[in-house]
Structure 1
Amino acid sequence: MKQVVVVKLVPDAGSRAALAETLSTCNTEANRIAGVAFAHRGAVTGRVEREYALRGRVYAEAKGTGIGSQLAQLAVKKVRDAYTVVEAQVRSGMLRGARAAKALGKPVVFRSGAAQPFDDRCLSWNLDARTVSVRTVVGRVRGIGFACSKRDLAMLRAHRKGESDLFERGGELYLAATVEVPVAEEREPVDFIGVDRGIVNLATTSDGVNFQGQDLERYRRRMARARAELQAKATKAAKKKLAQRSRRESRHAAHVNHKIAKEIVSAAERTGRGIALEDLEGIRERVRLTRSQRGRISHWPFYQLAQHIGYKARRAGVPVIAVDARHTSQMCPLCHHTERANRRSRDEFCCRGCGLAGPADVIAAVNVRRRGRMAWAVCQGSGRPA
């Protein structure tokens, strides 16, 4: 299973200038290549030609900029991969209508500090000395230090494999290294933990554990007020501050999602259970939300939480199964009576059939657990993978 380990580079002034110039030159050349690719796309299909054909048009000039033959080829590959992503997003429906037309109607653009891939021929690691050697526009620069945690260093030492991406963020230079982590064999679960994802409580398990309630809500309101104030100013400094705050909020969201996923997977691994999640794909189109709820959903990466749970579970050998999310918060897990009135408020559930009452999020998680058990039994009985 592929993952990414990000380390911060700590170069001296000369090395920093060489790396920054190399990154800027690579991205400038990538923009030129993207324009050439766009100009020669298919007249009927509108698709960009394959990497080999594109390389024949742009390679000589790219190599002549000083980045060398290998970085020139990696720049071509980066451009073709970017177009592949855009085309895939349009085909899958992630980009539709005006957004799809806009994405397909102009060349892709890379900022000056965007990530540039380096393979082992143009970037090598010395993990004992915590340094890297990088091919730049001024030649090979050696002994560039990097900083990372002991855990990340151990991960690099044991599993680093493939390309590393150099990129700039906030005036600092970073390397994102690819690591190939072995996946544990998936075991047979003795039961499942149902996980209900929501707006106020990010995740609630069938064990009755809530993750992030009032503290998260206060954080969201504070961030929303700060965004509104900066957007109202509309100055250059305010826009810069807004971008910084957006990155800060994204980092906070990823950190919280990592913690929640780690606790859920650890509980499942410790007790020999699997994890059942609601399938929330297309939830924005299926449900009617208030304006405040739409804002909350848009500013929190719920999909990211499922991704974190998924990859952590694969590493631990914990099976994960997605189940139908419909009516999980309206159905009684005891008598299975289902109606909207069962959920008396956002927090309270009371079955109008048998009188069972409890926290609405926990009831939903219990229903998710039950559906996970049934789905697993069906998949195992039919021989299909869960």
Structure 2
Amino acid sequence: MSLLSVKCKLIPDASTAEKLSRTVDQFAGACNHALQVARRENAWNKFALQKLVYRELRERFGLSANLAVRAIARVGKRKGHKVGGFKATSVDYDQRILSLNIADEVVSLSTVEGRVKVPLHIAGYQRHLLRTAKSIQGGQLVRGRDSSWYVHLWCEYDDPPVLDPQGMLGVDLGIVNIATDSDGETYSGKHLNSVRHRHRRLRKKLQKKGTKSAERRLKKLSGKERRFANDVNHRISKRIVAKAQRTERAIALEDLQGIRERVRLRRPQRATLHSWAFFDLGRKLRYKAERAGVPLVWVDPKNTSRQCPACGHTERANRPTQALFRCVACGCSGPADCFAAVNIGRRAAVIQPNAGV
């Protein structure tokens, strides 16, 4: 079985929105109180912590039995976090306190003031995901930055037949080109980067201005850029997974965790790197690959862009420019991103030898 979170926008009236808001606030307060007790008593086991705080969470914060249990479960995941608490942004739900009527586009949720039914907007793709789900395991109520409301529904699906890969499609993630595969196909980030450069200049002007209208414009600009980047990553990940499925290959990706701390770049490049969602694209590739039954293999990114795919010689001088690779040992030359993707695919084939390239 696999789980996928489907996000839908809620459309509550003023009275219902107030109930949702109070529930989020009380749930966060309950989580922070339980967190204090867990740290003081070193009680991170869900059942041990429940014995200590369950009754107080219900009486002091007005949570129903299931909401109190969900708050305790959330705290149990914080073991090892020495500082920090929970912000009042979301509430976790299980199947007993959340139900969905797809036909009427209504979700039923428990709040601190009883059960409420909230209309929600379901787009075509979301409707398809919800209708094809085997079951809905619960979800999460989320309060947006602009006081909007969303519900993330946790949908369970039967695992699709896993592809028996006949090769590897290596994918190199970058800044100039968002992705390049080992076939030489480029998924350009030129338009995305131009939009971000334009927004960066505008942000700088608005921040310097400092008025209330400038602050409102900055908030609107941030949401617009985030939605645009999210759409770009969705389209690119969909194309890559569809290609791998069509050609019966697994996908090979670099494990880019911590890349922001590892790489050294000039100031303009740093701004581009820190504004680009490496993790988001990798996450979209992962869940789309799972849904399609396409294996995904993560490899060590070290020297993938400096190693010659012909002779194996590895040296920094092999990259005379950002775009060009030219081996100083054998003279092999070509597009640097494509050669890196070839190296990624070959490393993955070693990890998963039955899918040789």
Match of 2:14 among 13, 17, 30: 17
Q: CA deviation at 1:331?
A: 1.6
Q: CA deviation at 1:358?
A: 0.9
Q: Match of 1:77?
A: 70
Q: Match of 2:29?
A: 32
- Correspondence 1:248 to 2:248: no
Describe the shift of the 1:165–1:193 C-alpha distance in structure 2 as closer, same or farther (beyond 3 A): same
Matched residue of 2:158: which SS? coil
How many pairs were matched up? Answer: 351
What is the identity, as a one-letter code, of the residue corresponding to 1:77?
R
Matched residue of 1:365: which SS? helix
Match of 2:87 among 109, 114, 128: 109
1:1-386 matched pairs, under 5 angstroms: 1-11=2-12, 16-43=13-40, 45=42, 50-63=49-62, 69-70=64-65, 73-75=66-68, 77-78=70-71, 81=74, 83-87=75-79, 90=81, 104-110=82-88, 114-136=89-111, 139-142=114-117, 144-159=118-133, 160-169=135-144, 170-377=146-353
Cα pair 1:184 1:316 within 8 Å, conserved: yes
Cα pair 1:26 1:75 within 8 Å, conserved: no
What is the identity, as a one-letter code, of the residue corresponding to 1:325?
P
Report the Cα distance in structure 1 between the residues aligned to 2:85 and 2:301, rounded to whole angstroms.
39
Q: Which runs of 5+ in 1 are unaligned?
A: 91-103, 382-386
Matched residue of 1:180: which SS? strand
Describe the shift of the 1:105–1:373 C-alpha distance in structure 2 as closer, same or farther (beyond 3 A): closer
Cα pair 1:18 1:138 within 8 Å, conserved: no
Cα pair 1:23 1:167 within 8 Å, conserved: no
Describe the shift of the 1:107–1:123 C-alpha distance in structure 2 as closer, same or farther (beyond 3 A): closer
What is the identity, as a one-letter code, of the residue corresponding to 2:54?
R
Cα pair 1:119 1:164 within 8 Å, conserved: yes
Report the Cα distance in structure 2 between the residues aligned to 1:155 and 1:309, rounded to whole angstroms.
17
CA RMSD of aligned residues (A): 2.8
Q: CA deviation at 1:10?
A: 3.6
Describe the shift of the 1:21–1:212 C-alpha distance in structure 2 as closer, same or farther (beyond 3 A): same
Q: CA deviation at 1:221?
A: 0.4
Cα pair 1:323 1:371 within 8 Å, conserved: yes
Matched residue of 2:177: which SS? coil
Matched residue of 1:50: which SS? helix
Cα-to-partner distance string for 1:212-267 (whole Å, 9 max, x where unaligned):
23212211201211221222233444334333322322222221111111111111
Q: CA deviation at 1:310?
A: 1.3
Cα pair 2:168 2:355 within 8 Å, conserved: no
Between 267-276 and 317-326, the greater mean CA deviation after superposition? 317-326
Q: CA deviation at 1:4?
A: 1.5
Between 114-123 and 190-199, the greater mean CA deviation after superposition? 114-123
Q: CA deviation at 1:20?
A: 1.1
Q: CA deviation at 1:35?
A: 4.5
Once the two structures are aligned, what percentage of the paired residues are identical? Answer: 37
Q: Match of 1:101?
A: none
Report the Cα distance in structure 2 between the residues aligned to 1:212 and 1:235, rounded to whole angstroms.
36
What is the identity, as a one-letter code, of the residue corresponding to 1:199?
I
Describe the shift of the 1:277–1:137 C-alpha distance in structure 2 as closer, same or farther (beyond 3 A): closer
Matched residue of 1:145: which SS? strand
Cα pair 2:176 2:189 within 8 Å, conserved: yes
Report the Cα distance in structure 1 between the residues aligned to 2:72 and 2:216, rounded to whole angstroms.
27
Q: CA deviation at 1:271?
A: 0.6
Describe the shift of the 1:107–1:168 C-alpha distance in structure 2 as closer, same or farther (beyond 3 A): closer
Cα pair 1:18 1:136 within 8 Å, conserved: no
Q: Which runs of 5+ in 2 are unaligned?
A: none
Cα pair 1:22 1:136 within 8 Å, conserved: yes
What is the identity, as a one-letter code, of the residue corresponding to 1:116?
V
Between 131-140 and 283-292, the greater mean CA deviation after superposition? 131-140
Cα pair 2:11 2:119 within 8 Å, conserved: yes
Q: CA deviation at 1:365?
A: 0.9
Cα pair 1:29 1:75 within 8 Å, conserved: no
